[in-house]
Amino acid sequence: MNNKPFVIGIAGGSGSGKTFFLNCFLEHFSKDEVCLISQDDYYIPVAAGMTAEENKLYNFDLPTTIDEAAFIADAKKLLNHETVYKKEYTFNNASAVPKILEIKSAPIIIIEGLFILHFKAIAEMLDLKIFIDTEEEVALHRRLKRDLIERGYSAEDVNYKWINHVLPAYKEFLLPHKHHCHKIVINNTQVAEDIIRITRDISKEIRDTVLN
């Protein structure tokens, strides 16, 4: 098989609503048409037994926390129509049993994550770059909701990381690439139908040009 897959990069900061956008986007394709590789599954595991204070101070929002070489190697495998097997990252949750992810290549490959535009080798693979853009206040509200409920952080810890880790990383490693993206999606709304409509329009455009 010589046909090169069409590669879509979806980037957005923490709280941008990237996950919801992705889930809506994937609804428009069958499993045989699209596959997804996420930067989040390439975090380099940190030492077990980290204290609450150590966890608060550890900065996960740096490119050096990602196994860039493995991320690039697996993306290249998908481009070459190979299947990728990858252990799921569980965000240092000692009680979670990580699954082995099987990612089968497809005509459309989606690569998503905070640093995908910063990692030059990844950025050069992308045929379509989508930037999910959100106001800081909206993004922080979403981050608070997620981390307080899903990850058990305190509001103090979330705000500390937001000010000292999240925003500086966003402004240094993602924001400079915004205007090089093909599509910028403004996602300040809480109305699901707005994102559903946007993903429907983009997916139709891709289907008409790539799959037909």
Average pLDDT (26-46) is 92
In 3D space, the residue among 183, 33, 2 whose CA is nearest the CA of residue 108 turns out to be: 33
Hey, how many other C-beta atoms are within 10 angstroms of the C-beta on 160?
A: 15
Look at residue 107 and tell me if it is in a domain: yes
Average pLDDT (109-136) is 97
Look at residue 77 and tell me if it is in a domain: yes
Exposure of 109 by Cβ count < 10 A (0-12 exposed, 13-18 middle, 19+ buried)? buried
Q: What share of the chain is helix, strand, coil (3-state, %, to 5)?
A: 45, 15, 35
User: What pLDDT, in 10s, does the model give residues 113-125?
Assistant: 999 999 999 999 9
CB 115, CB 63: distance < 8 Å: yes
Look at residue 44 and tell me if it is in a domain: yes
Look at residue 1 and tell me if it is in a domain: no
Domain count for the chain: 1
Look at residue 134 and tell me if it is in a domain: yes
pLDDT at 145 over 90: no
Look at residue 15 and tell me if it is in a domain: yes
Query: How much is the pLDDT for 2?
Result: 57
Question: What CATH number should be reported for the domain holding residue 160?
Answer: 3.40.50.300
User: What pLDDT, in 10s, does the model give residues 75-100?
Assistant: 999 999 999 999 887 765 656 777 89
Average pLDDT (114-141) is 96
User: What pLDDT, in 10s, does the model give residues 180-196?
Assistant: 999 999 999 877 888 99
In 3D space, the residue among 124, 112, 148, 151 whose CA is nearest the CA of residue 12 turns out to be: 112
Hey, how many other C-beta atoms are within 10 angstroms of the C-beta on 26?
A: 18
Exposure of 81 by Cβ count < 10 A (0-12 exposed, 13-18 middle, 19+ buried)? middle
Look at residue 119 and tell me if it is in a domain: yes
Query: How much is the pLDDT for 158?
Result: 87
Q: Which domain holds residue 114?
A: 6-211
Instruction: For residue 37, give the 3-state DSSP assignment.
Output: strand
Look at residue 27 and tell me if it is in a domain: yes
Query: How much is the pLDDT for 190?
Result: 76
CB 47, CB 77: distance < 8 Å: no
